[in-house]
Amino acid sequence: MSVNVTTRSADGITLVRLDGEITSNSAPGVQDRILPLAGDTGRLLIDFTGVPYVSSAGLRMLLLLYRRAQAADAKIVLVGLSEEVRFVMSATGFLDFFEIGDDAETAMGGVRP
Amino acid sequence: MTAERIDSFPTRQIDGYRVSHGRPFPYGAHVVPGGVTFSVFSDRATSMTLVLFERGADKPMEELRFPPEYRIGSVFAMTVFGLDPENLEYGFRADGPYDPAKGDRFDAAGILTDPHARLLSGRDTWGVPPDWSNPYQYRAVIALEDFDWEDDAPLGTPTEELVIYETHVRGFTRHPSSGVSAPGTYAGLREKIPYLRELGVNCVELMPIFEFDEFDNSRVNPGTGERLYNYWGYNTIGFLAPKAGYAATGRYGMQADEFKALVKDLHKAGIEVILDVVFNHTAEGNEQGPTISFKGLDNATYYMLTPEGYYYNFSGTGNTVNCNHPVVRDFVLACLRYWVSEYHVDGFRFDLAAILDRGPDGSPLPNPPLLEQLAYDPILRHSKLIAEAWDAGGLYQVGHFPNYGRWAEWNGKYRDVVRRFVKGDEGTVGELAARIVGSPDLYGGRGPTASVNFITAHDGFTLNDLVSYNDKRNDANGEGNADGANDNNSWNCGAEGPTDDPEVNALRTRQMKNALAILLTSQGVPMLLAGDEVGRTQLGNNNTYCQDNELSWFDWDLVTANAELLRFAQSMIAFRRDHPILREARHPLGVDSAGVGLPDVSWHGVRPWEPDWSPGSRLLAVMRCGRDASGGRDHVYVAMNSHWEGHDLELPELSGGAVWRVFADTADPGGTAERRVGGRRHHIGPRSVVILTGSTA
């Protein structure tokens, strides 16, 4: 099970769309794709609309991403989280670290100067 | 910098699995580069097999026998490469002699849980009936332990400043009235932190959160026919695993993260976390009980056995952990260190702790090595260690638990005498005096912080039931009302159980306030039972260990229904915080130790300086004098009247123009509005407590 990762950039914002379950199997691949982006962009939007499930290892990958972005002074915004994923992140405290947006288009619009 | 380790390569294959020598320490299963290393102790096993499951599968995907070369001493250790730790469950088969008379109960047919498992699956969601046909019920899972604690650490609140709040993770928010997003869970409790802050407590003591099986109770409620649970959880299966069924995310195996998030946020709110831990016995029962882990791995090491190979039962639950055996000592120590370093918990309350000073043959040791080791351990050095200083084998050590200057005790004598005084018993005033200043008769060399003062705890009546029932009502537990304590020192105030008699209800409220007022002005460490601040009732059941229902759950509607009682509790906790003389870490001496012109403690009756110590006395006033937080003079006068008549009190004279003000009068339903006392006389109503403060301001 791998996750499909598509990216596009505009106005210093990078949008990453993920499709598939993020588990210990797929997380390393996703991480390899996104980690480099966390450093070279002012703002990274990750669209979870196509992600039904994020496992414990997946959440750890996200937090690692957050720490890397923080070190590079970049911002990470998570959008399109399913109710379940959002609930799991909230119950485990992971949500506290992230900025959350409703959907990609709004979030993109919201951060444009 | 990031060179690969030269031991991160397999050295042989077993059944297509690439393996190598494992790391014997630490025990358990740990992710290492390229794989997972497994380590388990068994002194008497002749061989050991690692059993691997895909997550949730009935049948193992592989069984790998530890090659003889992978055994070092009595430890079997092997690294298996290419495993997906998140999708894996594991256990062991231990082969060896079956000879119970000699203490050996090996049976390679069973799959054993790793005693060092840091996560367990199998009871992932509370109350979901298990599939008993599954040969492996409590499944060891590999924990990803990293967590972003930021700068969190155990708080290190001085013991004398603690106000402990004893609660049950599920019971606290399971009631539909709780309004939290995940009722009955760690996450639910986390949402209630603002309530705890408003209440003013700075420490929560959680009833057992180590993995247990809520289905290990086979009784039914005779009234309703419903099955009963093991709701309290004093029957541990995984000593390093937080209970998954208490996590909203347990079905995803994220209970560790959820519990850590709770601890982290409690700490942010200035609230410490003490765990109620049960090291005196395990869930394996006696020779008729299930074999889960210890019994099959090394029965004779882990349990106290009679010379005939039966189980000593000092715990009253079938078996007794052999906790002063060197190997078991290491196990207990490893568990506690883990909870402090990995989960940042602030301390422990040890269930039936008197067992922890028994030797392998059950006799109490003069210098029990386990207790000494815990007292001096570097990781545990600042952890609170609290003993329930008795056991079910008749060992009662309140006041003389081997303490090494470190251990505190649940002061059962405090509970008993305060209850008796409040209900109006004769002959209690003398002992009451000792108890409310930190029991110097019991803890003379140790100080008041050795005394955890409580009137109610999970075990026994709630505060409301203490003033509403003369007798326990435990029929719903399915044991013919034979379970639970009979000696409750309770008084129903004139009617048994709920009543609409306004006089009885008013008296009950007053009696609850009297108890809270005495508890929160006593020296020592006060402990409240969750819900007592809002008058929670268990309808007279004093042993709700099996009741996962409204008998046990915190009913949040009481927060508004009994708002007056809650306000009183809040104001008493704040009063304690504002008056350091109530929580001095040293016993008072009865002399002017603070240079304020009056002794640190003095005793009074209807007339000042004339306490009535006679057996028939039902009135005692104590005056505490010393310094407040800013160094100014502070005086607190607490008059306790358990007589059914009121009395006119003549108050002690204060020096330097200070005057008395009323802080609280439990006979005044209006509550706690401060007002000045005119002159030196004050009336105390029947069965009530009056608290005055003296200051010049």
User: Distance, in angstroms, between A21 CA and closest chain B CA?
Assistant: 13
pLDDT of A110 reads 54
Testing the interface with B: which of A56, A60, A62 to mutate, by most B Cβ within 10 A? Answer: A56
User: Distance, in angstroms, between B195 CA and closest chain A CA?
Assistant: 18
pTM of the full predicted structure? Answer: 0.97
Q: Which chain B residues are within 8 Å of A24, Cβ to Cβ?
A: 84-87
Give the active site residue among B205, B257, B276, B388: B388
pLDDT tens-digit readout, B33-84: 999 999 999 999 999 999 999 999 999 999 999 999 999 999 999 999 999 9
Does the pLDDT of residue A1 top 80, yes or no? no
| Closest residue by Cα to residue B232 from B140, B163, B317, B299 | B317
Does the pLDDT of residue B395 top 50, yes or no? yes
Does the distance separating the beta carbons of A91 and B254 come in below 8 Å?
Answer: yes
Helices B412-423 and B429-436 pack at an angle, to 10 degrees, of: 130
The neighbour count for residue B485, using CB atoms within 10 Å, is 13
CB contact residues (below 8 A), chain A span 17-36, against chain B? 23-25
List the single residue in A23, A63, A92 with the smallest CB-CB distance to B254.
A92
Does the distance separating the beta carbons of A93 and B265 come in below 8 Å?
Answer: yes
B671 pLDDT tier (thresholds 50, 70, 90) = low
pLDDT of B695 reads 82
Does the pLDDT of residue A113 top 50, yes or no? no
The answer to whether B258 is a known catalytic residue is no
Q: What is the secondary structure of B585-622 as a DSSP string?
A: SS---SS-TTSSSS-SEEEE-SSTT----STT--EEEE
Q: Which chain B residues are within 8 Å of A57, Cβ to Cβ?
A: 86, 144
Does the distance separating the beta carbons of A59 and B86 come in below 8 Å?
Answer: no
Weakest mean pLDDT among A32-46, B261-275, B301-315: A32-46
Does the distance separating the beta carbons of B186 and A91 come in below 8 Å?
Answer: yes
Q: Which chain A residues are within 8 Å of B253, Cβ to Cβ?
A: 56
> What six digits make up the tokens of A36?
């480099």
> What six digits make up the tokens of A103?
């959907």
pLDDT of A112 reads 47
In angstroms and rounded to an integer, the radius of gyration of the C-alpha atoms of chain B is 27
User: Distance, in angstroms, between B278 CA and closest chain A CA?
Assistant: 26
Residue of A nearest to B256 (CA): A92
Does the distance separating the beta carbons of A92 and B261 come in below 8 Å?
Answer: yes
ipTM of predicted assembly, 2 dp: 0.93
A27-41 mean pLDDT: 85
Weakest mean pLDDT among B146-160, B574-588, B683-697: B683-697
Testing the interface with B: which of A92, A94, A95, A96 to mutate, by most B Cβ within 10 A? Answer: A92
B364-389 mean pLDDT: 97
The answer to whether B351 is a known catalytic residue is yes
Does the pLDDT of residue B2 top 70, yes or no? no
Q: CA B406 to CA B348: how far, in whole Å?
A: 12
Q: Which chain A residues are within 8 Å of B148, Cβ to Cβ?
A: 63, 67, 97
Does the distance separating the beta carbons of A56 and B257 come in below 8 Å?
Answer: yes
CB A14 within 8 A of CB A45: yes
The neighbour count for residue B590, using CB atoms within 10 Å, is 12
pLDDT tens-digit readout, B186-232: 999 999 999 999 999 999 999 999 999 999 998 999 999 999 999 99
Q: CA B599 to CA B594: how far, in whole Å?
A: 8
Q: What is the secondary structure of B52-111 as a DSSP string?
A: EEETT-SS-SEEEEPPGGGEETTEEEEEEES--GGGEEEEEEEE--EEGGGTEE--TTS-
